[in-house]
Amino acid sequence: MSRLRDLYAGVMGYDPKSLERSSWYLAELSVGVALEIDRFARGRNNNFSHTEELADILGGYQSEGEDTPSGFPYWPLVRTIRASNKNIRTVSELTLEVRSLKEELESVQHLPKKRLEYLRNFMVELSKQFSAEGRHLRRRMVS
């Protein structure tokens, strides 16, 4: 379990399942992943608890044979993938991209330096998109 999950679920009492679907939590988790990747690329990290947690969350919303996982806020992920010049038009394409991302996160220690840089930048952008999604949802609730 990551320190982030320990803080929110253990200390503050948030429901772990609701954290997995929360844009603000996923934004923080994505930043944690980016930092772990950056530190690893610089030879200063061997702890990948945030990276493992995000991979587990992505895997948990993609059960075998299910092309339309529900409950996970996918729009920030779709926008981030599209920003990386990949055009996602169908749920099947999204499913494939999410599986690929999950596999990269699981094998981050074995990726070449260029791929680590790309993945770090992807995680930073993903965090921005999750943050924007959280702000958008709060505005809709207030309006």
pLDDT in tens, 31-42: 999 999 999 999
Separation of alpha carbons 78 and 81, rounded Å = 5
The pLDDT confidence band at residue 136, using thresholds 50, 70 and 90, is low
Give 54 or 5, the one with higher predicted confidence. 54
Specify the number of domains making up the chain. Answer: 1
Strands (E), the chain: none
How many of the other CB atoms lie within 10 Å of CB of 87?
7
Q: What is the pLDDT of residue 143?
A: 44
Its pTM stands at 0.85
Q: How many CB atoms lie within 10 A of CB 92?
A: 11
Q: Which amino acid is at 139?
A: R
Domain around 12: 3-142
